[in-house]
């Protein structure tokens, strides 16, 4: 039987910006299982799952532990230093799933940068809090696995701020020398 779509077409045509609902549920379940396996909670998996599914991923392990210790939690926790260290990695581990999704998207679509290394650009629309409108930046490198430019105000810098191809290309123009 012939496929209706190529494998590349089954992936979204635009860069993934969040993990899928199923990936999120699997991630929370794994975290809840690890909490129970390490003795940080003696409660039911469902209750720990409910608590970790409401964690803000960009909080520190200490802030997360304080939230889990609060009145809104369904489970109780044995909070100690190793538990806080475990929770410190929560956001990073969740971000790793998104990075893998982006890498799969890059493999499926093979996006190519429009700008070359060393090219001087003018930011027409803000890129991030550091790269404001009117700033002059240089392409200092690439992160091909993530389809991102490395840009910086210093043309000699090795590395720089990592920003997606599409965001840089939509918000910058070439500065003629």
Residue numbers of the domain that contains 135: 120-174
CA atoms within 13 A on the CB side of 72: 11
Residue 114 is assigned to a structural domain of this protein: no
Do the domain assignments include residue 155? yes
Q: How confident is the model at residue 6 (pLDDT cuts 50, 70, 90)?
A: low
Q: Do residue 55 and residue 135 come from a single domain?
A: no
Decide if 73 is inside a domain: yes
Confidence (pTM): 0.80
Specify the number of domains making up the chain.
2
Q: Is residue 148 part of a domain?
A: yes
Q: What is the pLDDT of residues 66-125, one digit of tens each?
A: 999 988 899 999 999 999 999 999 999 999 999 999 999 999 999 999 999 999 999 999
Q: Indicate if 170 and 147 belong to the same structural domain.
A: yes
Tell me, yes or no, whether 160 lies in a domain. yes
pLDDT at 5 over 60: no
pLDDT at position 124: 93
């Amino acid at each position: 039987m012939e496929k209706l779509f190529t494998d590349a077409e089954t992936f979204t045509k635009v860069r993934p910006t969040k993990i899928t609902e199923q990936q999120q549920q699997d991630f929370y379940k794994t975290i809840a299982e690890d909490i129970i396996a390490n003795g940080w909670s003696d409660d039911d998996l469902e209750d720990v799952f409910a608590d970790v599914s409401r964690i803000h991923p960009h909080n520190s392990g200490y802030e997360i532990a304080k939230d889990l210790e609060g009145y809104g939690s369904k489970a109780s926790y044995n909070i100690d230093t190793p538990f806080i260290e475990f929770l410190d990695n929560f956001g990073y581990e969740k971000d790793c799933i998104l990075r893998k999704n982006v890498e799969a998207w890059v493999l499926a679509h093979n996006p190519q940068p429009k700008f070359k290394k060393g090219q001087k650009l003018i930011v027409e629309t803000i890129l991030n809090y550091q790269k404001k409108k009117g700033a002059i930046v240089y392409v200092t490198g690439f992160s091909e696995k993530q389809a991102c430019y490395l840009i910086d105000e210093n043309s000699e810098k090795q590395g720089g701020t990592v920003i997606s191809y599409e965001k840089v290309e939509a918000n910058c123009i070439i500065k003629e020398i």
